[in-house]
């Protein structure tokens, strides 16, 4: 059972544009939602994370929007750059258990 659904599978954005990746979860016990960036052959790196008590969190060009009632959260990458081309994973976990459940990933390509 896929507990975190991520879309789109792939995304092509022009340089300077906004990249938007969406995730939906099923388990209402999830209370920590991080986004990871992964380059080929490398481990994932944490970009930004949010908890359900806030609806939005911004760090630099990266923003998470969170909708608790809809059980959805999204990543917005403003002013997308070619260096942002990577695979992005949303994830969710339960405080205490800590193990992450990952979405299926989105391959982002930012064209110059």
Partner 1 sequence: GAVVSQHPSRVICKSGTSVKIECRSLDFQATTMFWYRQFPKQSLMLMATSNEGSKATYEQGVEKDKFLINHASLTLSTLTVTSAHPEDSSFYICSAINSGGLQETQYFGPGTRLLVL
Please state, in angstroms and rounded to a whole number, the distance separating the CA atoms of residues 43 and 68. Answer: 29
**Could you say which of 102, 110, 111, 112 contacts partner 1 (CB under 8 A)?**
102
Please report, to the nearest 10 degrees, the dihedral formed by the alpha carbons of residues 36, 38, 44, 50 taken in order.
0
Q: Is the separation of the CB atoms in 10 and 111 below 8 Å? A: no
Could you say whether residue 98 binds partner 1 (CB under 8 A)? yes
In the complex with partner 1, the residue whose CB is nearer, 17 or 85, is 85
Q: Build a one-symbol-per-residue string for 38-77: x at contacts with partner 1 by CB under 8 A, - elsewhere.
A: ---xxxxxx--x----------------------------
In the complex with partner 1, the residue whose CB is nearer, 20 or 48, is 48
**Could you say which of 27, 32, 61, 71 contacts partner 1 (CB under 8 A)?**
32
**Could you say which of 30, 66, 88, 89 contacts partner 1 (CB under 8 A)?**
89
Task: Classify residue 41 by its DSSP letter.
Answer: T
Q: Indicate the SS3 state at residue 66.
A: strand
How far, CA to CA in Å, does 67 sit from each of 38, 73, 98?
25, 6, 21
Where do contacts with partner 1 occur on this chain (CB under 8 A)?
A: 32, 34, 36, 41-46, 49, 89, 93, 95, 98-105
């Amino acid at each position: 059972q896929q507990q975190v659904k991520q879309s789109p599978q792939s995304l092509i954005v022009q340089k300077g544009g906004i990249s938007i990746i969406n995730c939906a979860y099923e388990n209402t016990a999830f209370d920590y939602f991080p986004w990871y960036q992964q380059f080929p052959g490398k481990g994932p790196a944490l970009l930004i994370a949010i908890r359900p008590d806030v609806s939005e969190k911004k760090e630099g060009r990266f923003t998470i929007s969170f909708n608790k009632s809809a059980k959805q959260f999204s990543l917005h990458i403003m002013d997308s750059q070619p260096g942002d081309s990577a695979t992005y994973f949303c994830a969710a976990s339960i405080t205490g258990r800590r193990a992450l459940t990952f979405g299926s990933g989105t391959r982002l390509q930012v064209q110059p």
